[in-house]
Structure 1
Amino acid sequence: MKAAVFTGPRGKIEFSDVPMPMIGESDALIRITACGVCRSDWHIWNGDWEWVFADPSRPMILGHEAGGVVTAIGKGVTSVAVGDRVTTPFGHACGRCGQCLRGHQNRCERMFFPSIQESGGWAEYMVVRDADLNAIRLPDNVDDLAAAALGCRYMTAFQAVRDRGALKGGETIAVVGCGAVGLAAIEVASALGGRVIAIDIDDSRLERAKELGAFAIVNSRATSPFDTGAAIKAHTRDHQGAEICVDAVGGAVTFQSAFYGLQKGGRLVAIGMTGKEDNGVIPLPIDICVMNELSVCGCSGIPVHGYDELLALVAGGKLHPAALVSRTIKLSEVEQALHDIETFNATGYIVINDMTC
């Protein structure tokens, strides 16, 4: 099969023929119809996250935002059949550990990551491990581009706003960073009745945020995190701050900008993970956190049961993940897409929808 193969940090992505993957009794093989090129893929290609993950085996096929059609199943699989259209979480849960049994499959103690422990979706075919849990059947009116968008950034944004941030209608939520996951968070928050403030350093992204429902925008290019926080507060009731702030980038500047924008008792949800500038460690103004009774939490993916509500909103036309796809490319064009992500020369989602060339 054709695949785009990662050869090492900042190395060439080789477009080549590789062996077809094998499935076990509990697995499914899917023919990829669309797969995103995510900033997480860029981080792996850039050699980041040694402080979180072991280095991926090399050579490796990246790609973790996959949608496709089931072409084969193991004899133990009962929830999907050949011909079903599916998406899959970016991490495959085991379904048997304590976290999974409590319904937190996105916190699985034995999480299996395509792109890191096994080949991912930048190929014609991909294996979905424990398919009864991790192969998510798609409604007929959810298209292939939406399926790819749902695999990582969009579903994480949904979980961040709906569950971890616990947004209630009428609350103000500030989203720092209007990249792909930030724009998804803005659309989700607006659809759920939030009053959204969008923060970014790029005016074109801020204009897109307004189209997706943000009632106020802040360009933070020339401001400190404290001043960005003050600018967020200026758009809130009585200038007291937002009930929820989301760091949709990952890094000291964006995290602290979100932190300083909170009202007393506010909630900060961190989605983005850091790069080499921070190496996984960000200073937290802990005295303000204590005095103002602030809550800080992370968000990584979504439990499998969370897809039901998310897909219902997409199928019902309340959310439009495919509309965030700004560009579709061929599999052989992946390396250029990574460079575009690196230079922030990409707004929205880049999705591969031709796996043969």
Structure 2
Amino acid sequence: MRAAVLEAYGEELAIEDVDPPEPDPHGVVVDVEACGICRSDWHAWRGHGEWADDRVPIGQILGHEPAGTVARVGDRVSRFEPGDRVAIPFNLGEGSCPQCRNGHGNVCEDGYALGFEETVPGAFAEQVGVPHAEFNAVALPDAVSTVEAAALGCRYVTAFHALAHRADLEAGDWVAVHGCGGLGLAAVQIAGALGANVAAVDVREAPLELGTELGADATVEAGDGVDVPADLEAVTAGGAHVSVDALGRAETCRNSVDCLRTRGTHVQVGLTTDAERGEIPLPMDEVTRWDVTIVGSRGMPPSRYDELLRMIESGRLEPGALVTREVALEDVSERLAAMSGYGTRGIEVVTEF
């Protein structure tokens, strides 16, 4: 089968013919029909994560936001059969650890990160293997296309989990979203669907325009000389109840914390780059003084996908509205390179393999 292989950090991915995966006894193999191109892929492509012992190895097949059709099943799989349409979470659990048993499979103690480690080759390929499929794979309703499911990827589900499950968001709250890439725009749409007022922040006009189309009630164009927390305090009449750093830069993280009102919640979903190397200074005395909460969010437990899928089926959420481009496997390197200069808009999806 054809696959996009990481041969050198920051260099063009090699399109190679590789052996197709075989299903584990507890796994399935999926014909990939769509796979999102995510900023986490960009981090992997650039060789980031060394500071957290999380660098993707050379030789890895990247891609971690797939959806498609089950092609083959393992001997111990009874829930799925060939022809079933599925979405695959990137943070795969093994199903039996205390976190998995308590509904937190996204942080499985013995889990796998699809497309980021050697044991689970990714989905920039014609087929992808999924371990522990009865725990991880998510059956797609007829109303949700594979392109929409790929848009869920890690970005949309991370934003949903962050706002619906981690931030204690209430209807009428103000949510500030810092960074309007795919993850940030997902947070904009989801926050509005959950009944919040949304202020979107970015340095570029085009993503802010898309954010407005997706439901943002206000926008702040950041840049040199702009006091983002002050502008947000004015827009929200006192500060955000919940603020999301969807970019992972020191500036956006600090602005997110600084724009909160008393007893607000900062949610970190963006990964840092080699500029921060996982460390960002924050005003912890202010956090203590004003009873601020700081939480992280990564992916979503597969057991909670039904909440999100119901909202999509009812039309309250439209992940497909974030998809701005469909590309071929050969285009992935170019689209990753475009992310280095923030040259992408919304979510881009591979649909030709």
Alignment partner of 1:332 out of 325, 330, 333: 330
Corresponding residue for 1:273?
271
Alignment partner of 2:351 out of 347, 350, 353: 353
How large is the Cα RMSD of the aligned pairs?
Answer: 1.0
CA distance in 2, matches of 1:301, 1:46: 21
Mapped contact 2:91–2:107 kept (Cα < 8 A): no
| Deviation (angstroms), 1:211 | 1.0
Corresponding residue for 1:106?
106
Is 1:166 matched up with 2:168? yes
Is 1:63 matched up with 2:63? yes
CA distance in 2, matches of 1:54, 1:236: 38
Corresponding residue for 2:22?
22
| Deviation (angstroms), 1:223 | 3.6
Corresponding residue for 1:83?
83
Is 1:196 matched up with 2:194? no
Corresponding residue for 1:122?
124
SS at match of 1:61: coil
Q: 1:102 to 1:223 in 2, by over 3 A?
A: farther
Corresponding residue for 1:208?
210
Mapped contact 2:47–2:56 kept (Cα < 8 A): no
TM alignment of 1:142-291, pairs within 5 A: 142-223=144-225, 227-237=227-237, 240-291=238-289
Corresponding residue for 2:302?
304
CA distance in 2, matches of 1:53, 1:299: 19
Corresponding residue for 1:7?
7
Corresponding residue for 2:292?
294
AA paired with 2:247? V
| Deviation (angstroms), 1:235 | 0.9
AA paired with 1:323? A
CA deviations over 1:61-93 (Å, ceiling 9, x no partner): 100000010011001112211101000111110
| Deviation (angstroms), 1:313 | 0.6
Q: 1:219 to 1:93 in 2, by over 3 A?
A: same
SS at match of 1:326: strand
| Deviation (angstroms), 1:55 | 3.1
CA deviations over 1:166-220 (Å, ceiling 9, x no partner): 2111111111111100000000001111000111101111111111111111011
CA distance in 2, matches of 1:348, 1:54: 26
Corresponding residue for 1:41?
41
CA distance in 2, matches of 1:132, 1:268: 34
| Deviation (angstroms), 1:54 | 3.7
| Deviation (angstroms), 1:114 | 1.8
CA distance in 1, matches of 2:16, 2:266: 43
CA distance in 2, matches of 1:54, 1:166: 30
AA paired with 2:45? W
AA paired with 1:151? G
SS at match of 2:157: helix
SS at match of 2:291: coil
* TM-score where L is the length of structure 2: 0.97
CA distance in 2, matches of 1:134, 1:82: 16
Mapped contact 2:24–2:74 kept (Cα < 8 A): yes
Alignment partner of 1:141 out of 143, 146, 150: 143
| Deviation (angstroms), 1:53 | 3.9
Mapped contact 2:64–2:90 kept (Cα < 8 A): yes
AA paired with 2:322? L
| Structure 2, unpaired ranges of 5+ | none
CA distance in 1, matches of 2:172, 2:101: 34
CA distance in 2, matches of 1:56, 1:49: 8
CA deviations over 1:29-84 (Å, ceiling 9, x no partner): 00000001111001011010112344333211100000010011001112211101
Once structures 1 and 2 are overlaid, which stretch shifts more, 62-71 or 332-341? 332-341
CA distance in 2, matches of 1:53, 1:157: 25
| Structure 1, unpaired ranges of 5+ | none
CA distance in 2, matches of 1:212, 1:219: 17
CA distance in 2, matches of 1:46, 1:271: 19
AA paired with 2:58? R
* TM-score where L is the length of structure 1: 0.96
CA distance in 2, matches of 1:348, 1:308: 24
SS at match of 2:175: strand
| Deviation (angstroms), 1:112 | 0.7
Question: Percent same amino acid at aligned positions?
Answer: 39
CA distance in 2, matches of 1:144, 1:304: 17
CA distance in 2, matches of 1:111, 1:295: 27
AA paired with 1:10? G
CA distance in 1, matches of 2:211, 2:313: 22
| Deviation (angstroms), 1:347 | 0.4
CA distance in 2, matches of 1:164, 1:233: 23
**Count of residues in Structure 1 that have an aligned counterpart in Structure 2:** 351
